[in-house]
Structure 1
């Protein structure tokens, strides 16, 4: 009997996660809702859903059993694949399709800081100048990939603990 590979399940669901995150990002950009916190919750919901569905599929195909380590491994790998795909899309969108999106985000940030009234104009300029250094395409790509991996790993630790089901006899 051929052993079921968690990698195959993780790659499949990682692509699904990547496409889901791309769609959320595209909708966010097209509706100009970059600062809307609901899109963060939508992203989190997509990640949780994909993690749960992938681990349930693996457990079902594995005779109803999945160890904690297998669940974590599936979640970490699919998060890496999803993060890579969504970060590639995000970088492509920001560099090729709509390079002005970052400028609009800085203008919105300036307005929010001015409305708060806690900083002087020089302090606002300084804060925006520092944050602009972290907005290069390479940095945002790497941050997107690692951010998705870290979030996926944390969620995988929790979800794998809930979904796991060990065999009574580990030698079966």
Structure 2
């Protein structure tokens, strides 16, 4: 009887590599002072899609060329969770230890953007900034990063697994 490969091992391997890639993207974003640049969001999504495809194809190749939709979804979700933990830990470490002023810079940029739009009063802007500062504790940032990455990874895995899956012609093989 054929032994099935471990989807967890494949997901851990590719999740760790994706986590390192996300850490690299974040580091470049911080060092170039481009924290609000939407190009980096696109780059992050692109990296996630690429590594989810690679992870699912790796699992499929280890499984004699077959992968059910649910197996692909589990590989992608677990890989996203691992990547989320690693990249969120890096972001939290960077914001607390390496450059604690980065959040203040982001707040100043957000305030300037709100003032330029001119749709909010100064009082409303102050209130919005106060609320956003309350949500920037290291613990909340870490948890939000993990769950955000997991959520986006799950959604992307739903799509990618539909294209990468390859069902067996005889399910009793």
- TM-score bracket, normalised by the shorter chain, equals over 0.9
Give ranges in structure 1 of 5+ residues lacking alignment: none
- C-alpha distance in 2 between matches for 1:104 and 1:116: 19
Give ranges in structure 2 of 5+ residues lacking alignment: none
Matched, 1:162 2:163: yes
Deviation per CA, 1:104-142, whole angstroms, max 9, x where unpaired?
Answer: 011111111111112221111111001111111111100
* Residue number in structure 1 paired with 2:113: 112
Count of aligned positions: 172
Matched, 1:102 2:103: yes
Cα root mean square deviation, aligned: 0.8
* Residue number in structure 2 paired with 1:143: 144
Q: Runs of 4 or more off by more than 6 Å in structure 1?
A: none
* Residue number in structure 1 paired with 2:56: 55
- C-alpha distance in 1 between matches for 2:44 and 2:164: 21
Q: How far is the alpha carbon of 1:2 from its aligned partner? A: 3.5
- TM-score, normalisation: structure 1: 0.98
* Residue number in structure 2 paired with 1:28: 29
- C-alpha distance in 2 between matches for 1:46 and 1:102: 24
| 3-state SS of 2:158 partner | helix
* Residue number in structure 2 paired with 1:10: 11
Q: How far is the alpha carbon of 1:3 from its aligned partner? A: 2.5
* Residue number in structure 2 paired with 1:89: 90
